[in-house]
Structure formats: structure tokens, C-alpha cells
Amino acid sequence: MTKIKSAGILGLGMYVPERVVTNDDLAALVDTSDEWIFPRTGIRERRFAAPDQATSDLAIEAAKRALEDAKVDVSEIEMIIVATCSPDHVCPSTAAVVQNGLGAKNAAAFDVAAACSGFVYSLTIASQMIGTGLYKKILVIGAEAMSKFLNEEDRSTLILFGDGAGAVVMGEVEEGYGYLSSYLGADGSGFFW
């Protein structure tokens, strides 16, 4: 019987766009205020991507930083998983765009669309792929450019979302360390549209 390998995070990276949008900025658009937003959300500011920045652009920058932190060359990456609900397009996947942008010629690439839990789902997938020995190094990225889809008249969602990306390089780690377990679930009964 093949022993399951321990998978863990070898390096971290993140990227946020330059444009800062404060609660006061949003108060100029909708009936709200910092005094209303902050106590309910804990958010004082968020970042919005530039008009010419796509989700893949944010993801690529975060990925470069994670690779540098892990001291891993992009040629070692065998799979790229991008967790996003704001993909560049439906096809090709944002992960495939990232794969091309990084020059990760040896990497499989796909997106995971699981909303807020997408990064956790993606970490679980990556840990299993490494655990079985199928892959050695996997890049997992959570990236969103939600500002592209926000309704600037909807106070209930406008205050919550921003743009940015976080990335990790995952690989084999010493037994007893790394991603120890997960329990994934879902409940589609709350769908309200």
C-alpha cells in the first residue's frame, strides 16, 4: 500500500491593486457611512482593480511572489488551481491564462468556483494530489476582481467586496506537518435569486 505524503505550504504571495476605496468613497455613491459599514463588516477600505486589470493579472502577481517566497522555479509547477468567482472569461479558464502568463509550460490548469470557500476547496484538492504522489508542486491561487461586477447602487453588496489575490506554492513536507485534514460541505438551500 502506498503511503500518503504530507502536503504543505512552501511559499506565500499576495497582490492588491493600487486603487484604495474607502467607506467614505462609497458613501458618495449610496446611502451609507463609515459609521454604518465598519461596525457591521469590520471593513474600512478595500481595493479595486484598474479598468485594464483582469483577475488573471492579480493572480499572476500573487503567484510570482509565492514562487519567489518558496524559492521554486515556475518550471517545477505541475498544476495551477485558481479559486475565483470573477474569472476573466468562462473559457479558457483563468488558471490557463495564469499558466500562460507565468510561462508554466508543464502545468495543468483549472478554476474552482466555490465562492468564499473556493480557496479551501482548492487547498484540499492540491493536498490530495500531492498526497497521492501524482503531483509534486502545485500553485493554488485565490483571486477576485469583484469590482467589475458590482452594482454601484446596491448598498448591500457594494460595501462588502474588493479585489486582490493570494497564492501559495504547495509541495511535500515532513510527516505530521502541513495540511492535516479538511471537511468540505455545501448547502444550496439558501439560494435566493
Question: Residue 190: its pLDDT value, please?
Answer: 78
| More confident: 186 or 107 | 107
Please say if the pLDDT value at position 6 is more than 70: yes
pLDDT, tens only, 88-146: 998 999 999 999 999 999 999 999 998 889 999 999 999 999 999 999 999 999 999 99
DSSP 8-state assignment for residue 146: G
Residue count of the chain = 193
Question: Residue 189: its pLDDT value, please?
Answer: 85
Confidence band of 193 (pLDDT split at 50, 70, 90): low
CATH topology of domain 7-17+54-174: Peroxisomal Thiolase; Chain A, domain 1 (3.40.47)
Q: From CA 7, how far away is CA 172, in angstroms rounded?
A: 4
| More confident: 156 or 49 | 49
Confidence band of 1 (pLDDT split at 50, 70, 90): low
pLDDT, tens only, 131-185: 999 999 999 999 999 999 888 888 888 888 999 999 999 999 998 899 888 888 8
The helix/strand/coil state of 142 is strand
Strands 79-83 and 19-22: unpaired
**Mean pLDDT to the nearest integer, 73-101:** 96
Cβ neighbours, 10 Å, residue 103: 11
Name the phi and psi angles at 46, rounded to 5: -145, 170
Please say if the pLDDT value at position 3 is more than 90: no
- Can you give the three-state secondary structure of 51-77, one letter per residue? CCCCHHHHHHHHHHHHHHHHCCCHHHC
